[in-house]
Structure formats: C-alpha cells, structure tokens
Structure 1
C-alpha cells in the first residue's frame, strides 16, 4: 500500500469528519448504562459512513444516485432526530423521570439507524469533496482510501467513547447531554439546510 495515499486519506478523513467526534461522544453518553448501546452506536456510524462511501464511489464512476441539489435537504434528517430527542427530553423531565429504573434495564440510547442517518446527513457535503479525489485516484487508489476511511471510523468511535467516559466530561454529559444532543442535531440540520440553500434559505 502506498503510504503517501494512506497519509492523504487520513488527512482528508480527519478534516471532513472532525465534528463527528462531538456527535459520537453525545451518542455514547446518551446510551450510557444501557446494554449494547456502544455496539449500536458503532454499527450506526459504520452504516452511515458506508452509505457516504457508496454514493461517493458511484459518483466517481459517473453514477449519480444523489443529485447535488438534493444534498442540502439531508439536513432534514438530523433536524427531525434533534426535535424528536428534544421532545423525549422534555417529556422525561415533565414526567419526573419515574421510568428511570425501567429505562436502565431495557435497551436504550440511539438506534443504529438514528446514528446512521445523522452520520450520512452530516457527511453529505463530504461526498462533494470525496468524488473528485476518488475519480482521480483510480480503482487501486480508491480502494486504499476506502480501507483507510473505514479503519479511521473505528478510531473516531474510540475517540468519541473515550471522551464520553472521561469522569469530568461524562459528568457534564450526564447532566447536560439530554439538552446538548437535540441542540447539536438541530444545529447540524439547520446548518446543512441553510448552507446548501435548501427551501431558498
């Protein structure tokens, strides 16, 4: 494997996905204490990123499954999930958290599809960056990029979990995570919609 391409892939991945670490930390914190939650977050992150790769690789070969004008509307996914999380947080607060014990014993935290939807929507603009790089890298180079990216997804998941489990950060996320998660998701959704000019914004 060409070390130069691996280095470029690592740099490209880091630059285009730096904000994902915060979102992952919030997802891991949301699932803290729930059995299998970390596994579901990792699975969702991989599902979302594989979808980004699939669209970018297809576009590099000239197939357009996701027209460029449609990309800004991906912001509706995190926006909807953020509003759902905000509603759930308000409802839990309003109900006084009486179901806390029950919530700890059942499967909780985000589902793989929720994480995948946010990952894909948040990475929608990455597709535009990846396509020309993949198109000029050729099949061998593209394979190196794909393998490096998928390996780095694991590093990103580890980093997100690491931050979510540091005592000081974990305490802050436990206290404010139910507010931060919807806020971050809604902000991501609005930024994607506004920056992409969706609905004439």
Structure 2
C-alpha cells in the first residue's frame, strides 16, 4: 500500500469531516445512559459515510446516483431532525431530572437512520471534493481511499465519544445538549440549503 496515498487520504478525510466530531459528540451525549446507543450512532455514521462513498465512487466512474441539483436539498434532513429533536426536548423539559438516573432499555438516544441521514447530508459537499480525487486515483487508488476513510470513521466515532464523556464536556452537554443538538442540526440544515442555492439566492 502506498504510504503517500494513505497520508493523502487521511488528510483529505480529516479536512472534509472535522465538523463531524462535534456532531458525533452531541449524538453520544444525547445517547448517554441509553443501552445500545453508542452502537446505533456508530452504525449510523458508517451507513451515512458509506452512502457518501458510494455516490462519489459512482460519479468518478461517470454514473450519477445523486444529481448535483439535489445536493442542496439534503439540508432538509438535518433541518427536519433538528426540529424533531427540539420538539422532543420541549415535551420532556419537566422530566429531565427523572430520566437522568434511568437507563432506557431499548431505543433511547439517536436512531441509526437519523445519524446516517445527518452524516450523509453533512457530507453532500464532500462528494464534489472526492469525485475528482477518486477519478484520478483509479480503481486501485480508490480502494486505498475507501479503506482509509472507513478506518477513520471508527477513529472519529471514538473521538466523538471521548469528548462527550470528558467530565467538563459531559457536564456541559448534559446541561445544554438538549439545546445545542437541535440548534446545530437546524443551523447545519439551513447552511446546506442556503450555500447550495436551494432558495435561489
């Protein structure tokens, strides 16, 4: 395996996915105390990023799985999820103290497909960066990029969970996470919509 290409792939992943660490930290904080939540978040991150890779690889070979005009509207996914999360936080605003000491047996915290949707939407602009790189790297090079990227997804998940469980960060997220997560998701959705020209601006 070409170490130079591995380093390039690692650098490209880090540059294009640095904001995912914040999102993952918020997701892991939201899932704290819910059995199986970390597994669902990690699985969702992998599904979302695998979808980004699939679209980028197909485009590098000349196939269009996702029309360029559709990319801005991916912002609707985190925007809608942010509204849903805000509504849930509002509904449970009086029961937070009771839920802090209870572990939800099943289904608590972020859902796998919700994490996958946010990951995919947040990586929509990454596709435009990956396509020319993949096209020039060829099939062998693309395999290297895919392996490095998918390995680093696990590192990103570990980093997100690490930050979410640091005492100072965990306390802050426990206190403000119910406000931060929907705010970040709604802002992210609006940025994707606006920067992509979804409103014709």
For this structure pair, what is the TM-score category when the shorter chain's length is used for normalisation? over 0.9
Paired residue secondary structure (1:193): helix
Runs (4+) off by over 3 Å: 95-99
TM-score of the two chains, using structure 1 as the length reference? 0.96
Alignment match, 2:18 = 18
Alignment match, 1:100 = 99
Q: Deviations over 1:137-175 (max 9, x none)?
A: 000000000000000000000000000000000000000
Contact 2:37–2:110 at 8 Å: present in 1 too? yes
Q: Tell me, in whole angstroms, the C-alpha distance in 2 between the residues paired with 1:98 and 1:6.
A: 47
Q: Tell me, in whole angstroms, the C-alpha distance in 2 between the residues paired with 1:125 and 1:78.
A: 14
Q: Deviations over 1:59-93 (max 9, x none)?
A: 00000010111100000000000000000001111
Deviation at 1:125?
A: 0.3
Q: Tell me, in whole angstroms, the C-alpha distance in 1 between the residues paired with 2:100 and 2:17.
A: 35
Alignment match, 2:187 = 187
Number of aligned residue pairs: give it.
Answer: 200
> In structure 2, do the counterparts of structure 1 residues 178 and 58 end up closer, same or farther at CA, with 3 Å as the change threshold?
same
Tell me the C-alpha RMSD between the 2 structures: 1.4
Q: Tell me, in whole angstroms, the C-alpha distance in 2 between the residues paired with 1:101 and 1:85.
A: 17
Which structure 1 segments of 5+ residues have no match?
none
Which structure 2 segments of 5+ residues have no match?
none
* 1:98-177 pair list within 5 angstroms: 100=99, 104-107=103-106, 108-177=108-177
Alignment match, 1:50 = 50
